[in-house]
């Protein structure tokens, strides 16, 4: 078990939705808050080599959470930016960390890296068995390239880099911007605004048939810190709950929790995205003892309550 108490730790994306939780969990696990550095994009553009070299200098552990990421709308609108930014950030940060003699690199991948048609539940060994769902592919492939890089640097240089694959995250402080949010915050905001206007219908993209798996942000952060402390292998590891819900049932559950009485209208001319998503989470349990704790209904309630507080 890696003792975090004296370690100098960088958390890229550490001021974001997941990052704040990771910083909190690091401190709970014994890290010294004064030795945790959170670079901000305003001062450190990680798409440049110079910023990456500055950020990793004299550090022990790098936890790379920073990403240019959004929902299906952003994926369709800006595929080139998503590919370039995520590849440049990750590959230059890994290379700079290796050159600087960093002790450990923790890289977050994405569920979007899996093939469009992957047997459910997704097992890590299926990661290369096909092309990702088209709207996710530029982002997913850019992130997947970082796994290859970490494995190559381990093989050639003995560099200790691990790669974690979290499923879709949700929770308080999520991104609720309608232009770039993922499905849960997008739906919560949509229902809230429909209630404010007194709408009798709720239009939702797709036909409701795809399934998704969701991991509460606190659980995800706990998993990342557990892996930082206890996992040093070269295999990618899924982080999730091993349970799936259809988008139809998700919308109905959010409407129930928010007491929205209107009719759901499915916009079947809009894309569905990947047909099913559910992870095999046995590896995380076996390798570093992680199991999700938050129930989905309870996590949704916390997220809805937080959003409503912010909207007052």
Q: Are 280 and 121 in contact (CB under 8 A)?
A: yes
Q: Is 18 annotated as a binding residue?
A: yes
Distances (CA, A) of 308 to 193, 301, 302: 11, 11, 10
For residue 111, give every residue at least 6 positions away whose Cβ sits within 8 Å of its Cβ, in sequence order, or none. Answer: 122, 165, 166, 167, 168, 277, 279
Q: Is 182 annotated as a binding residue?
A: yes
Decide if 98 is catalytic: no
Neighbouring CB atoms inside 10 A of 95's CB total 17
Q: Write out 88-125 in H/E/C secondary structure.
A: HHHHHHHHHHHHCCCCEEEEECCHHHCECCCCCCECHH
Q: Is 128 annotated as a binding residue?
A: no
Q: Is 7 annotated as a binding residue?
A: no
Q: Is 14 annotated as a binding residue?
A: yes
Give alpha helix (H) positions in the chain: 17-28, 49-56, 72-77, 79-99, 137-157, 183-197, 217-230, 247-258, 282-288, 296-310
Q: Is 143 annotated as a binding residue?
A: yes
Q: Is 116 annotated as a binding residue?
A: no
Neighbouring CB atoms inside 10 A of 44's CB total 18
Q: Is 15 annotated as a binding residue?
A: yes
Q: Are 211 and 166 in contact (CB under 8 A)?
A: no
**Which one of 114, 139, 153, 231 is the catalytic residue?**
139
How far is it, in rounded angstroms, from Cα 142 to Cα 4? Answer: 30
Q: Is 17 annotated as a binding residue?
A: yes
How far is it, in rounded angstroms, from Cα 120 to Cα 114? Answer: 11
User: Which value, in Å, is the radius of gyration of the alpha carbons in the chain?
Assistant: 19
Q: Is 166 annotated as a binding residue?
A: yes
Q: Is 212 annotated as a binding residue?
A: yes
Q: Is 168 annotated as a binding residue?
A: yes
Q: Write out 25-62 in H/E/C secondary structure.
A: HHHHCCCCHHHEECCCCCCCCCCCHHHHHHHHCCCCEE
| Phi, psi (deg, nearest 5) at residue 261 | -95, -5
Binding residues for NADP(+): 13-19, 143, 166-169, 182
Residues tagged active-site: 139
Binding residues for substrate: 190, 205, 212
Binding residues: 13-19, 143, 166-169, 182, 190, 205, 212
């Amino acid at each position: 078990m890696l003792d975090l108490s004296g370690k100098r730790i960088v958390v890229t994306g550490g001021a974001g939705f997941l990052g704040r939780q990771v910083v909190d969990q690091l401190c709970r696990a014994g890290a010294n808050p004064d030795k945790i550095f959170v670079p901000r994009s305003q001062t450190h553009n990680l798409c440049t080599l110079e910023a990456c070299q500055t950020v990793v200098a004299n550090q022990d552990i790098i936890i790379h959470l920073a990403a240019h990421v959004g929902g299906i709308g952003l994926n369709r609108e800006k595929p080139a930016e998503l590919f370039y930014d995520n590849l440049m950030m990750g590959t230059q940060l890994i290379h700079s960390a290796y050159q600087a003699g960093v002790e450990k690199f923790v890289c977050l991948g994405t569920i979007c890296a899996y093939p469009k048609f992957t047997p459910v539940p997704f097992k890590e060994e299926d990661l290369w068995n096909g092309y990702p769902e088209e709207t996710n592919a530029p982002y997913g492939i850019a992130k997947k390239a970082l796994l290859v890089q970490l494995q190559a640097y381990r093989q050639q240089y003995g560099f200790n880099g691990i790669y974690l694959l979290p499923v879709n995250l949700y929770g308080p402080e999520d991104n609720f911007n309608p232009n770039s949010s993922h499905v849960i915050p997008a739906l919560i905001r949509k229902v809230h605004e429909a209630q404010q206007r007194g709408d009798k219908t709720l239009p939702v993209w797709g036909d409701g048939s795809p399934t998704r798996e969701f991991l509460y942000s606190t659980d995800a952060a706990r998993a990342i810190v557990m892996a930082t402390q206890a996992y040093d292998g070269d295999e990618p590891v899924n982080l999730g709950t091993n349970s799936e819900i259809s988008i139809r049932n998700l919308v109905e559950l959010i409407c129930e929790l928010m007491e929205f009485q209107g009719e759901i209208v499915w916009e079947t001319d809009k894309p569905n995205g990947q047909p099913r998503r559910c992870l095999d989470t046995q590896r995380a349990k076996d390798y570093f003892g992680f199991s999700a704790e938050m129930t989905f209904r309870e996590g949704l309630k916390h997220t809805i309550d937080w959003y409503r507080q912010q909207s007052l």
